[in-house]
Amino acid sequence: MAGASDAVMCRGFFATLDGQAQDWFTSLPERSISTFTDLSRKFLSYFASSIPKKKPFSNMCKLEQGSTEMLTDYLNRWKKEARTVENFDEKAAIPIFTSNVRSGPFHRDFVQNRPKTYAALLDRAARFAEADEAERKKKEEERGRRDKRGYLGQYVKRTGQGRPQGPGNVWKKKGGSEPPASGSRKRELDQLTEEDEKESYEPHPREKQVIHVIFGGPEGGDTQSERKKWAQNLYVGEVVRQPHEKKPKR
């Protein structure tokens, strides 16, 4: 519109209006507008109440970064608030922004190497915000990989876990039979089979996975002390998966 006449400017301005502003324009009396300056003055006078009030620049001093607020969110909030203040002073905004950010590597870098211009401040803050967001996503990915465990993985016996079974923890069937004897017990009783001999002399035997199971029903007695004593005497057995049959290597 540069260099256009006032008549073209007024008609072009009408093309940008809508709703209430357009209704106001069409209600103007004929020949009441002689120049575009008259149109601008009447327009601003009529819609003066709709112009948002500008906030004082001192409000930026209260805009501090929250204790858990990401730098990206704080930077967006700072920019949005900066557009609503009156007479925004870019030079004075540099120390205010530096003071309002939370302590950490970003604040330390700004103190040690204070940016010379407001544009340089926003550029450096944006780069720190991107790095901060990338680090947050990386930590979430690593935490997710640590939390993934197999089905019933929390019940599988790990090396060094489990308590030794004393005489009071040995389970017996109602018929009086005992659980299968271990390899060392079979050796004492001279009951080792050929399969057991091969397994006992394996240089690196495969570690068996064990799931501890509590046997018992809704019992325990009528008093709290009886129920506590009953719970302490529960047998913790072992469910052991039999190793796969070893195939000879050629």
The three-state DSSP-derived secondary structure of 17-68 is CCCHHHHHHHCCCCCCCCCHHHHHHHHHHHCHHHCCCCECHHHHHHCCCCCC
For residue 249, what are its two tokens?
A: 């290597």
Residue with tokens 């018992």, as numbered in its chain: 216
pTM, whole model, 2 decimals? 0.41
pLDDT of residue 188: 47
CA dist 152 and 155 (Å) reads 5
CB 94 within 8 A of CB 114: yes
Predicted local distance difference test score (pLDDT) of residue 64: 92
Q: Which residues, in sequence order, are CB contacts of 128 under 8 Å at separation 6+?
A: 71, 105, 106, 109
Q: Is 107 exposed, middle or buried (0-12, 13-18, 19+ CB in 10 A)?
A: middle
Low-confidence ranges of the chain (pLDDT < 70): 1, 147-148, 150-206, 214-221, 235-241, 243-244
In the chain, the amino acid numbered 147 is D
Which residue intervals of the chain bear CATH 1.10.1200?
57-147
CATH 1.10.1200 correct for 57-147: yes
Q: What pLDDT, on the 0 to 100 scale, is given for residue 136?
A: 83
Which pLDDT value is given to residue 182? 54
pLDDT of residue 184: 53
